[in-house]
Amino acid sequence: MTVVSRPADSGPVLRAEAVELIRDGRHLLQGISLTVRPGEHWALLGANGAGKSTLLSLLGAVTHPSRGTVEVLGRTMGRVDVRELRSYLGHVNPRHSPDGPLRVRDVVLTGLTNTAAPVPRWAPTEQEAERADRLIAMLGMSHRAQATWPTLSQGERGRALIARALMPQPRLLLLDEPATGLDLAAREQLLASIDALRARHASLATVLVTHHLEELPATTTHAMLLRDGRCLAAGPVAQVLTSELISTCFDHPVRLVRSDDGRWAARAERVPVTMPGDHIPGTSTPGDRVSEEHETVSA
Ligand SMILES: Nc1ncnc2c1ncn2[C@@H]1O[C@H](COP(=O)(O)OP(=O)(O)OP(=O)(O)O)[C@@H](O)[C@H]1O
């Protein structure tokens, strides 16, 4: 049960087939199949509780499926040492918190040991330290490299965590709601950083979870829509990110627009909201009859 070497650099980075996940007798995921190839950038979309984070934890070799197969970087889950396999993935979890008030640069370096704190007596090589500095610069964080974690804004933490996830040079980057809690400027900077990263590393594959279409980077190539733990649609964005499918996915009429810069915006179609006492056309109430009679009399 060991990964004997670094996973091969060719073939799909992720392959899930007929995956089911059952907890407490309840299907959290059912009939999920997905193949992610190098250079593809997937969005996992769905309403609250649809199963997005659960699926991401399967794809990140954190959880095992109850049925079906999951292959991560060509290795079948259940037949490999998942701890070692996880060290070849970049997993950005906004809830990650370093052990102690570490500086940004040290947090980024813990991406190599996949730990919450620096490992005692471990030191990065010169190349690894240079790589940490390059990633910190790429994410626009050089001016905060020596700042301690508790003093960072949420947006700065998000960018530091992406740099950390990239330290082991992963072929696959998993991002769980990376823009949660960011203000407008921080969100836009984060999305620009993700676009730049994808442009610079052509073979990197990413899977990003969100329920906000406005939080999708323009470089998103594919999407999977989840509804109640099942796949509603999956494929290239042009086929999946449509008003009709998004409306079904979120169980609400939505108009989806893709703008010239490649980003998406979703607007809920206006649906009539009835308040107590409102007059609904085609119906009548005793109150209406009284006022109609009153109008007739006064005319
Ligand atoms: N370990 C578990 N045991 C039982 N139920 C669980 C477990 N983990 C998650 N769930 C349930 O599975 C469903 C899917 O949860 P998940 O967190 O994957 O949804 P999500 O699509 O990421 O939602 P959100 O957008 O709200 O973050 C939810 O109803 C959740 O309560």
pLDDT tens, 51-89? 999 999 999 888 889 999 999 988 887 777 777 777 778
Whether residue 29 contacts residue 54, with contact meaning beta carbons closer than 8 Å, is answered with yes
Is the confidence at residue 111, as pLDDT, over 80? yes
Question: For a pLDDT cut of 70, what percent of the chain falls above it?
Answer: 89
* pLDDT band, residue 180 (cuts 50/70/90): confident
Cβ atoms within 10 A of the Cβ of 252, count? 13
In a domain, 248, yes or no: no
In a domain, 297, yes or no: no
In a domain, 261, yes or no: no
Quote the Cα angle for 69-72-75, to 5°.
Answer: 80
Regarding the beta carbon of 227 and ligand 1, being less than 6 Å apart is answered: no
Task: Please state whether beta strands 75-76 and 67-72 pair in parallel, antiparallel, or not at all (unpaired).
Answer: antiparallel
Question: For a pLDDT cut of 90, what percent of the chain falls above it?
Answer: 54
Mean pLDDT of 88-101: 84
Which of 168, 201, 225 is the last residue in one of the domains? 168
Q: Which protein residue has the closest C-alpha to ligand 1 atom 31? A: 49
- Are 152 and 225 part of one and the same domain? no
- Total number of domains in the chain: 2
Whether residue 34 contacts residue 57, with contact meaning beta carbons closer than 8 Å, is answered with no
- Fill in the DSSP letter of residue 280: P
- Are 158 and 209 part of one and the same domain? no
Task: Please state whether beta strands 26-36 and 14-23 pair in parallel, antiparallel, or not at all (unpaired).
Answer: antiparallel
Cα 250 to ligand 1 centre (Å): 16
In a domain, 241, yes or no: no
Structure confidence at residue 294 (pLDDT): 39
Regarding the beta carbon of 32 and ligand 1, being less than 6 Å apart is answered: no
Regarding the beta carbon of 126 and ligand 1, being less than 6 Å apart is answered: no
Among residues 127, 162, 167, 160, which one has the least CA distance to residue 145? 160
- Are 42 and 178 part of one and the same domain? yes
Cα 57 to ligand 1 centre (Å): 11
Interface confidence: ipTM more than 0.90: yes
* pLDDT band, residue 23 (cuts 50/70/90): very high
Cα 260 to ligand 1 centre (Å): 35
What are residue 14's phi and psi, to 5 degrees? -140, 140
Q: Which protein residue has the closest C-alpha to ligand 1 atom 27? A: 48
Residue with tokens 């999956």: 234
In a domain, 113, yes or no: yes
78: left (phi over 0), alpha (psi -120 to 50) or beta: left
Is the confidence at residue 150, as pLDDT, over 90? yes
Cα 148 to ligand 1 centre (Å): 32
State the Cα–Cα distance between residues 249 and 233, nearest whole angstrom: 9
Regarding the beta carbon of 175 and ligand 1, being less than 6 Å apart is answered: no
Cα 284 to ligand 1 centre (Å): 45
- Are 20 and 143 part of one and the same domain? no
Structure confidence at residue 86 (pLDDT): 78
Whether residue 8 contacts residue 85, with contact meaning beta carbons closer than 8 Å, is answered with no
pTM to 2 decimals?
0.83
Is the confidence at residue 297, as pLDDT, over 70? no
For ligand 1, mutation pick of 26, 30, 52, 54 (most atoms within 8 Å of CB) = 54
- Are 188 and 61 part of one and the same domain? yes
Q: Which protein residue has the closest C-alpha to ligand 1 atom 29? A: 49
- Are 31 and 158 part of one and the same domain? no
The number of the ligand 1 atom at minimal distance from the alpha carbon of 56 is: 18
Structure confidence at residue 7 (pLDDT): 57
Quote the Cα angle for 226-258-45, to 5°.
Answer: 15
- Are 174 and 230 part of one and the same domain? yes
Cα 243 to ligand 1 centre (Å): 25
The average confidence (pLDDT) of the chain is: 86
- Are 13 and 62 part of one and the same domain? yes
Among residues 181, 162, 157, 182, which one has the least CA distance to residue 173? 162
Is the model more confident about 31 or about 281? 31
Question: What are 16's two structure tokens?
Answer: 């899930």
Q: Which protein residue has the closest C-alpha to ligand 1 atom 13? A: 49
Question: 209: domain CATH number?
Answer: 3.40.50.300
Mean pLDDT of 185-201: 87
Q: What beta strand segments (E) does the chain contain?
A: 14-23, 26-36, 41-45, 67-72, 75-76, 89-92, 172-176, 205-210, 222-227, 230-236, 254-258, 264-268
Task: Please state whether beta strands 41-45 and 222-227 pair in parallel, antiparallel, or not at all (unpaired).
Answer: parallel
State the Cα–Cα distance between residues 94 and 158, nearest whole angstrom: 6
Q: Which protein residue has the closest C-alpha to ligand 1 atom 7? A: 23
Query: Hey, which residues does 132 pair with through a beta bridge?
Result: none
Structure confidence at residue 234 (pLDDT): 97
Range of the domain at 117: 102-168
Could you give the 3-state DSSP secondary structure of residue 206? strand
Q: Which protein residue has the closest C-alpha to ligand 1 atom 8? A: 54
* pLDDT band, residue 184 (cuts 50/70/90): confident
Whether residue 50 contacts residue 228, with contact meaning beta carbons closer than 8 Å, is answered with yes
Cα 44 to ligand 1 centre (Å): 14
Structure confidence at residue 298 (pLDDT): 35
